[in-house]
Amino acid sequence: MMEEFELIGWPEIQFYMELEGFRENSTLVDPNTNIGIDSSTYLVSKSWLESLINK
Protein backbone atom coordinates (compact mmCIF):
# COMPACT_ATOMS: atom_id res chain seq x y z
CA MET A 1 0.00 0.00 0.00
CA MET A 2 1.36 3.40 -0.94
CA GLU A 3 1.34 6.00 1.80
CA GLU A 4 -0.34 9.36 1.20
CA PHE A 5 1.46 12.63 1.80
CA GLU A 6 0.53 16.27 2.13
CA LEU A 7 2.61 19.18 0.84
CA ILE A 8 3.27 21.76 3.55
CA GLY A 9 5.25 24.90 2.83
CA TRP A 10 6.91 27.70 4.72
CA PRO A 11 5.97 29.16 7.16
CA GLU A 12 3.31 26.56 8.16
CA ILE A 13 5.88 23.73 8.29
CA GLN A 14 7.63 25.44 11.22
CA PHE A 15 4.85 24.21 13.50
CA TYR A 16 5.71 20.56 12.77
CA MET A 17 9.51 20.73 12.57
CA GLU A 18 10.13 20.45 16.33
CA LEU A 19 7.61 17.66 16.92
CA GLU A 20 8.71 14.10 17.66
CA GLY A 21 8.61 12.03 14.48
CA PHE A 22 8.93 14.90 12.00
CA ARG A 23 12.21 13.71 10.48
CA GLU A 24 10.93 10.15 10.08
CA ASN A 25 7.64 11.22 8.51
CA SER A 26 8.65 14.00 6.15
CA THR A 27 11.02 14.84 3.33
CA LEU A 28 12.16 18.13 1.86
CA VAL A 29 11.00 18.65 -1.73
CA ASP A 30 13.17 20.33 -4.35
CA PRO A 31 11.71 23.69 -5.39
CA ASN A 32 9.93 23.71 -8.75
CA THR A 33 8.34 27.02 -9.65
CA ASN A 34 6.74 25.47 -12.74
CA ILE A 35 4.35 23.51 -10.51
CA GLY A 36 4.19 25.95 -7.58
CA ILE A 37 6.59 24.28 -5.13
CA ASP A 38 8.63 26.89 -3.28
CA SER A 39 11.74 26.32 -1.18
CA SER A 40 11.24 24.85 2.31
CA THR A 41 8.29 22.72 1.18
CA TYR A 42 7.96 19.24 2.68
CA LEU A 43 6.02 16.09 1.89
CA VAL A 44 4.53 15.01 5.21
CA SER A 45 2.89 11.67 5.96
CA LYS A 46 -0.88 12.08 6.30
CA SER A 47 -1.06 9.22 8.79
CA TRP A 48 1.51 10.98 11.00
CA LEU A 49 -0.44 14.23 10.79
CA GLU A 50 -3.62 12.38 11.78
CA SER A 51 -1.81 10.77 14.72
CA LEU A 52 -1.00 14.27 16.02
CA ILE A 53 -4.69 15.12 16.08
CA ASN A 54 -5.57 11.93 17.96
CA LYS A 55 -3.09 12.51 20.82
Q: Is 5 inside any structural domain?
A: yes
Q: Is 19 inside any structural domain?
A: no
Q: Is 51 inside any structural domain?
A: yes
Amino acid identity of 42?
Y
List Cα–Cα distances, 22 to 1, 13, 32, in angstroms. 21, 10, 23
Give the model's pLDDT for residue 46: 97
Q: Is 17 inside any structural domain?
A: no
Q: Is 18 inside any structural domain?
A: no
Rounded Cα gap, residues 26 and 16, in angstroms: 10
Q: What is the pLDDT of residues 28-38, one digit of tens each?
A: 999 999 998 99
Residues of the domain holding 40: 1-10+25-55
Q: What is the pLDDT of residues 3-54, one digit of tens each?
A: 899 999 999 999 999 999 999 999 999 999 999 899 999 999 999 999 999 8
Q: Which letter does DSSP use for residue 55 in this model?
A: -
